[in-house]
Structure 1
Amino acid sequence: MSRTTRLARVSVPPIAQAGRWAALYDGRHGPLADCSQAVPNRPPPPELAERLARAALEPAIARYGDILGDPALRAAYAAHVSARYGAPVDPARVAITSGCNQAFFAAMLALAGPGDAVILPAPWYFNHQMTLDMLGVDARALPLDAASGFLPDPAALDALIDERTRAVVLVSPNNPTGAVYPDALLADILALCARRGVVLVLDETYRDFLAEEARPHSLFGRREAEDHLVALYSFSKTYAIPGHRVGALIGGAALVAELEKAIDCIQICAPRPAQAALPWAIEALGDFRRASAAEIGRRGEAIRDAFAPLSGWRIRQIGAYFAYVEHPFGDEPSAAVAARLAEAFGVVVLPGSFFGPGQERFLRIAFANVEEPAIREIARRLALASPALDASA
């Protein structure tokens, strides 16, 4: 007797789907321009690479580590967050995870179960929605619109919370739109979550690409944070080590105790060579972080300049790693548009449909892994693909 599992109902991984489209490109317009995945396009600094290699040779590092992370990394990360946010964070509130996706998965295991609901603003990060589907948790969409800059409205959010709601998930700087949420808005939403008895889960994977390492928000200093805030982070983008899979979570003491159970069953501990090298990196690589942020900022400006003369293409939001772009193909499904751009023009982007309901007019361009000349080339190919030129060809 056949049976459909929850996993069978989860969508195909979007990056894998984009890779299949890209594989059909024949090279007619030049090299593939892959803007599908948010990944650094340069290696980690040589000093960090050397420390990673040395750590991998240490016999003690080949053993299991503490479930919640090596004490040195938990302490170094807590000190860094305390200094940057101007609020004390105890290392006991830190969990080190195998990437930020695992941090989110473990947090959802701790916070919600089948039949519960978690609110995701739409457009949402697809792995968040996929995780909730796997766990049997209702991913409740909070629609956002371009006119607001894709920022959530607290009143609309309040109206969605009911007795089944366990958490609200925000991403800032946002994936897929790039929007940076103002501190006052985040504070209002944290206060709302505390009043309604739910948890705010804030994914800050891209926070190190804010200009001059600005303080992203004041939430850690607010009294509601202990019981109603979970903050997620990824070392991957900042230090150009996505393959090493190290993320972090800051939460209240009760939640972290629950996370230990989840992490022990998912992977036991995060990869330890990177855990050994990162305490040094957090302290020593401030210049590298700032230089990376400045370079990404320049690429964002290059995207704005390249799109300015394009007919029909409109950047609706941009920031950190992403430009969220309105395409000129009317009612054509965004997945069909993205597939054609990849297969015929060698420009690989993700369709808005991957990011939730109401997103068919949009494409996400992850520009952090392409140099400025490639950005200009992408714009040239998009002009070739425009409906007006197609009609006159």
Structure 2
Amino acid sequence: MMDTLTREFPLKKNWIEKALHWVTEHFDYTSYHHPNDIAYPVQGFPHVLYAGQETIPWNVLESHVGPKAGILSYDLKNKFERLKSQNPSLVNCPETCFFLPQLTILFHQETLEIKHTEPEKIFMEIDNIQPKTVSKSISPIVVKTSKDQYIQHVRNIQNHIREGDIYELNYCIAFEAAIQSISPVQLFFELQEKSPMPFASFFKCKDQCIVGASPERFIKKQGSKLIAQPIKGTIRRGKTTDEDQQLKETLRQSEKEQSENLMIVDLMRNDLARISQTGTVKVDELFGIYPFRQVYQMISTISATLRPNLSFAEIIAATFPMGSMTGAPKIKCMELIEQYENFRRGWFSGALGYIDETGNFDFSVIIRSIIIDTKAKHLFFAAGSAITYDADPAYEYDECILKASAIQEILNT
């Protein structure tokens, strides 16, 4: 029987760090989410920590009472379409991992709630630990695709566009390194300092972890309402106020970025229409410009009213993977992604999130994230951009490097 302990406790970073260190030592499965007080349409994740020991299949979640937390690999696509993933894995991630929380900690501004069979004991154990600092030691980061290879692949992809195979494709490159010593929890908080995001997440599935700073929502369910928020359109932040404003307006007025965004909006509208009541799919915001620490992003919001009695598995089957990470049309793009990328995406560009007690859920897109295997002592991360017929290959390569810059910086310090 779960009990709830509520404590008046102004949140301090070091207590949250201690909580995350403690749960990763005591539980095989952990899912922590932090919105970082960032303004975001329909809000970011709640500030919550889940931990547990019991996994459950992703496609029968409704048969289990209470909250669930978990992850969907990009390669789950092969369950929904006649597709394959034959590129080498940089970290051999499970296709899905969902668990039933035995411990939930909800963080508020001045209080926290601990839900557990012995919440007072949990609070005291967390409060009393002193985590050890681990010196970070990794091999030099290797970029799996050279700039010349990237440019040639982009030109090949643009040939597919000219031939009418596709309209736009999200092409990604990977970075990897061997690990001598690392603390994934420590690394997570370093990334939050460098790049706070509304879908910041730490996820642990036994020996594998995600250290995540995602700016993008995949899909959210609130009652009968479903919300998707694809990001397409990126520009760096300026070094001065004037330059920052000029760059923001450049992104806002960019016909290329608007074209990319609109194609994915149309794709997501089509995906939502497959599971929604007739006439309820609408675009709530088109081409919204939102600031983050390193970049501005163009975000659109699409919503719909779900048909009654649809399961989580049915909703995912109709919408996964997210169009912002494939391109349009989705199936042909996924075939070409397999052809031109040189790594298996695994958890990268999959989805991570939670389902609450009422069946509402929220899942982010796994980008700007480090995927770590502590047993195999290896890590990788990846970054991509949308390739259109008029894309400049060298500019797109630089955009990938920009998106990966915060991760590179924290790994190299």
TM-score, normalized by the shorter chain, greater than 0.5: no
More helix by share: 1
Q: TM-score, normalised by structure 1?
A: 0.23
